[in-house]
Amino acid sequence: MVLRMTGIRKRFPGVVALDDVDFRLLPGEVHALMGENGAGKSTLIKVLTGVYGVDAGEIELAGEPVSFTGPAAAQRAGVSTVYQEVNLCPNLSIAENILLGREPRRFGRIRWAPMRRRAEELLARLDLELDVSAPLSAQSIAVQQLVAIARALDVDARVLVLDEPTSSLDSHEVDRLLAVMRTLRDEGMAILFVTHFIDQVFAISDRMTVLRNGKLVGEYETAEITPVELVTRMIGKELATLDELEQVRPERTVREELLRAEEVGRAGGIEPFSLGIQRGEVVGLAGLLGSGRTELARLLFGADHADQGTIRVDDKPVSLRTPRAAIARGIAFCSENRKTEGLVEDLTVRENIALAVQASRGWTKPLSRKRQEEIAESSIKALDIRPANPEAKVGELSGGNQQKVLLARWLITEPRLLILDEPTRGIDIGAKTEIQKLVTRLAAEGMAVVFISAELEEVLRLSDRVLVLRDRQVVAQLDNDALTPEQIMATIADGGAE
């Protein structure tokens, strides 16, 4: 056994993140760590990699008890980690990102040529051929992810931890990553794999450990468990299946138009497009990463301003030059970067939720503490935010719960058009279902929703109409009459030529 963690306990102010958790990892296996948001997966990884200390419990690496003082110590001991948000330096070259801190040197002088060769060798192991002296910032997220893995490989790693490595990759890139994982496993590496994609878990893992609410649920052989059993163990109750959503979706009737964009575009952002959105309609945006989905949404929200075209709201021309102007017309935007563009991590759940209301009231009419608490309590209840503590710092919440806080903040301003950019990325299936149900409910109540997601199934399940984007251009607008993901993929592939 390469790694054994026993009786791990980790407490944060107000929350027990890990409660007597055991975990073991064998060499030459891919071991999936499963659980909903807030189940303690990230905390367990951070404990393992030395970012957090433990309150109780023991970690043994290859039979030796260890206690890491930080990521550097963990790395030296052979535990390498690739984090969900790629933690590399975009300003440096690919070679440096792979080898920084372990550069080949002679008398303290970095030898660039051997360093580049070594980087190329490591990338070749991942079947990747790149100009290693180019800056990392020029590469796609997928390549950056692989570079991070190449870095992890260079250390004499016995344990490779992959925290949500596939959440921003397309399916082709995922296949490539899984192939790399198989190769490494066959070489005897122990891989700890965290993901929310259940199909990937069944495609690659040998065993899995399930956590729930900071407690160990169990350890299972992948071959001996079904996806439904796994999900049931993760959420602790029978999963209300997603199929129910189909019935929830009400019949559509002709309704008044809320927003119309005519030939709106922005040079370098997105080619001019036209789009009408009706009340109570869900418009899905489908397209690959970088196809212009976010850029389109930002134009509608005024986060970027269009350099051509007109936007009409309620049949009146409006100038959406700033988010403030858009908010004033009832448009809300949940950004895909919830960490950097949406939430203030150091503020509490209550304060974050109150922010948007306060902004719409203006600073001369402060919101009373009592009112803030009421709003926060009702949002926490409505969206099942966990922990159900309005005074918890948002930065300490899991990804899915942060997303809910962000949603709550916009919902209490009662927007008429809600733009959701990747609201379900990196969150677990339970929270995902809740958010999808919420979208359907809001639309039924008359709210217009623009829904952006990399998962086509999800877009199709929710949308009345789908805009297909490719290369920063809207290539097709399709009514969702039993559309299939294959049809959308075909439209993306042929650029809507038909």
Partner 1 sequence: MTTLTASRQRYLPIIATFALLVGAYGFGAAQYEAFASGQVVLNILIDNAFLLVVAIGMTFVILTGGIDLSVGAVVALSTLVSARLLAAGVSPLVVLVLVLVIGGTLGLGMGAVIHYFELQPFIVTLAGMFLARGLCYTISVESISITDGFFTTMAQTPVSLPGGMHVSTSVVIAVIVLAVAAYVLHFTRLGRTVYAIGGSEQSAMLMGLPVARTKITVYAISGLCSALGGVLLAFYTLSGNALHAVGMELDAIAAVVIGGTILTGGTGYVLGTVLGVLVLGIIQTLITFDGTLSSWWTKIVIGALLFVFIVLQRLVSRRAR
* Residue 131 touching partner 1 (CB under 8 A): yes
Shortest distance (Å) from residue 34 CB to partner 1: 24
Nearest Cα residue to 471 out of 272, 288, 262: 288
* Residue 76 touching partner 1 (CB under 8 A): yes
Map residues 25-64 to x or -, x wherever contact with partner 1 holds by CB under 8 A. --------------------------x-------------
Among 128-136, 276-284, 346-354, 357-365, the segment contacting partner 1 (CB under 8 A) = 128-136
E strand or H helix at 474? strand 473-479
E strand or H helix at 275? strand 270-278
* Residue 87 touching partner 1 (CB under 8 A): yes
- The CA–CA distances, whole Å, from 72 to 2, 64, 367 equal 19, 18, 46
CB-based contact 239:430 (threshold 8 Å): yes
E strand or H helix at 64? strand 64-66
- State which of residues 135, 269, 309, 323 lies at the interface with partner 1 (CB under 8 A): 135
Among 73-81, 239-247, 319-327, 466-474, the segment contacting partner 1 (CB under 8 A) = 73-81
- Sheet of 30-34, strand order: 79-82, 159-163, 190-194, 30-34, 207-212, 215-221
- State which of residues 7, 14, 53, 90 lies at the interface with partner 1 (CB under 8 A): 90
Complex with partner 1: residue 135 or 323, whichever CB lies closer: 135
- State which of residues 91, 308, 310, 337 lies at the interface with partner 1 (CB under 8 A): 91
- State which of residues 36, 96, 163, 422 lies at the interface with partner 1 (CB under 8 A): 96
CB-based contact 211:42 (threshold 8 Å): no
Nearest Cα residue to 36 out of 429, 316, 300: 429
Complex with partner 1: residue 83 or 220, whichever CB lies closer: 83
- State which of residues 13, 109, 316, 368 lies at the interface with partner 1 (CB under 8 A): 109
* Residue 337 touching partner 1 (CB under 8 A): no
3-state secondary structure of 354: helix
* Residue 137 touching partner 1 (CB under 8 A): yes
- State which of residues 52, 83, 273, 333 lies at the interface with partner 1 (CB under 8 A): 83
Q: Tell me how far apart the alpha carbons of residues 465 and 460 are, in angstroms, rounded to a whole number.
A: 8
CA dihedral 104, 109, 113, 119 (to 10 degrees): 30
Complex with partner 1: residue 71 or 496, whichever CB lies closer: 71
CB-based contact 458:479 (threshold 8 Å): no
Q: Which residues in this chain contact partner 1 in the complex, by CB under 8 A?
A: 51, 70-72, 75-76, 81, 83, 87-92, 96, 100-101, 103, 105, 108-110, 131, 133-135, 137-138, 151
